[in-house]
Amino acid sequence: MSPFPNNLAEAIEWLSSYGAVPDGGVTRTLYSKPWKEAQQVLKEWMEELGLQTSYDPIGNLFGRLASKDSMAPTILVGSHIDTVLSGGKYDGAYGILAGILALKHFKEHQGHPKVNLEVVSLCEEEGSRFPIACWGSGMMTGIYCIQDINGFRDSEGICFEQAMKEAGFGIGEQPDVVRSDISAFVELHIEQGPSLERLQKSIGIVQSIVGQKRFRITVKGEPNHVGTTLMKWRKDALLGAVTMIHDLYGLTKEYDEDFVTTVGQLFVEPNVPNVIPGQVEFTVDARHPVNSVLSIFCEQFKRQFLEIAQKLGLEIGIEIWHNVQPVQMDAKLQQIVQTICINSNISYHVMNSGAGHDSQLFARMCPTALVFVPSQGGISHSPSEYTSNHDLETGLSVLIQLLHRLAYK
């Protein structure tokens, strides 16, 4: 009896066991043990299905259904294998598993495609372990280069290069991660928001993805004794940080409701009750569909932070570590998906994505399509993330029709 799944619902449960954590979520960060195991079992499954598998030097995993035409370009379908900490079972995984099942369908029923079809399990998108996001797609599109990860360490001090090497990867002399043969990228993904459920639509056809800027803010004060240091003598890094964060959320209210900003991570040192915090590090994630609005907001909050630091006698460091522009998805591919939905009597909604995706990077290299299925309650990046089997299968049926149109017609 094959250890591999027979359908999408089984595949989601099967893959989510790699990195399963007690609260019911999944933690599968770049180059970690569960990450490596997940990539390896996906490789073995694709080989059993008769796909040609390969890794590139940084750990992107591919399964190929080749055309007979050796000069043919490649249509890439897939998503990312990594997750946030205690994330859901569907974010990223769904796009990979649906891609594998689509190629399984074509191998069994359609034979060789006119162009190569490849499913990719991209090594990293979330930015959960190291301060870089979309590492897999960023290297494949040439937006990143290997030097971009120099000096990066995770929260346990493990350096990026060491983690990559211990997982069995690393750039040789020729970092041949950039792909020039990709003629289109297709990503099937959960919406991670409430729109499709609220509108009772089965498919989201993404027209654009918001711009995103992520910052690391370091506030330095003076650690001191809480009992003997009068308030007027203090250089309290945490007081500075909470004042900045309060003002950041206040500033957001001056913008339209499409503007979202979040402080998701905060570290206090030395983080003990009877020492005035000497240093605080926190993150700012800011997003908006229009890049100029996003830039103006970021300039404003940085000015505010500097004023607060000066007033409280603190030092401040502001470092941007993820900066992606808003991007349009390919109009022709959107049109094809729309026609597929109409002909199949599948309800759809043309929409923007507030979540970032690997499609954002591929769209700068080739025509790209991002297709959503509903998220129950709009919840994602949580153990409660859920999409019904019916919605998963509807997404797969649209994906199969789209890839058939692109690779067999």
Give the residue numbers of the binding site for Zn(2+).
80, 91, 126, 189, 381
Q: Which is nearer to Mn ion, 92 or 113 (CB)?
A: 92
Kindly state the smallest distance separating residue 91's Cβ from Mn ion, in Å: 4
Instruction: Find out whether 66 and 53 touch, Cβ atoms under 8 Å.
Output: no
**How, if at all, do strands 279-288 and 203-209 pair?**
unpaired
Instruction: Find out whether 357 and 370 touch, Cβ atoms under 8 Å.
Output: yes
Q: Which is nearer to Mn ion, 92 or 367 (CB)?
A: 92
95 binds, among Mn ion, ligand HGY, none (CB under 5 to 8 A by kind): none
- Give yes or no for residue 191 binding Mn ion (CB under 5 A): no
92 binds, among ligand HGY, Mn ion, none (CB under 5 to 8 A by kind): Mn ion
Give the residue from 162, 21, 165 showing the smallest Cα distance to 84.
21
198 C-beta neighbours (distance < 10 Å), count: 11
Name the β-bridge partners of 282. Answer: 217, 266
Residue 50 DSSP label: T
Out of 91, 118, 191, 330, the only residue in the binding site for Mn ion (CB under 5 A) is 91
d(Cα 348, Cα 146) in Å, to the nearest integer? 40
Out of 120, 280, 355, 361, the only residue in the binding site for ligand HGY (CB under 6 A) is 355
Helices 8-16, 93-109: axis angle to 10 degrees equals 140
| Site for ligand HGY, residues 150 to 209, rule: CB under 6 A | none
Out of 356, 367, 374, 395, the only residue in the binding site for ligand HGY (CB under 6 A) is 356
Kindly state the smallest distance separating residue 386's Cβ from ligand HGY, in Å: 16
Region for residue 328 given its phi and psi (left: phi exceeds 0; alpha: psi -120 to 50; beta: otherwise): beta
How many residues in the shown chain lie near ligand HGY by CB under 6 A? Answer: 4
Give the residue from 204, 145, 231, 195 showing the smallest Cα distance to 347.
204
356 binds, among Mn ion, ligand HGY, none (CB under 5 to 8 A by kind): ligand HGY
d(Cα 325, Cα 102) in Å, to the nearest integer? 31
| Site for ligand HGY, residues 376 to 395, rule: CB under 6 A | none
Beta strands in 50-181 (DSSP E): 52-55, 61-65, 74-80, 116-122
- Give yes or no for residue 126 binding ligand HGY (CB under 6 A): yes
Give the residue numbers of the binding site for allantoate.
214, 274, 287
| Site for ligand HGY, residues 3 to 22, rule: CB under 6 A | none
Q: Which is nearer to Mn ion, 154 or 385 (CB)?
A: 385
- Give yes or no for residue 124 binding ligand HGY (CB under 6 A): no
Q: What are phi and psi of 97, to 5 degrees?
A: -65, -40
- Give yes or no for residue 125 binding ligand HGY (CB under 6 A): yes
**How, if at all, do strands 116-122 and 74-80 pair?**
parallel
Out of 92, 136, 240, 395, the only residue in the binding site for Mn ion (CB under 5 A) is 92
Kindly state the smallest distance separating residue 88's Cβ from ligand HGY, in Å: 10
- Residues near ligand HGY (CB under 6 A) are 125-126, 355-356
- Residues near Mn ion (CB under 5 A) are 91-92
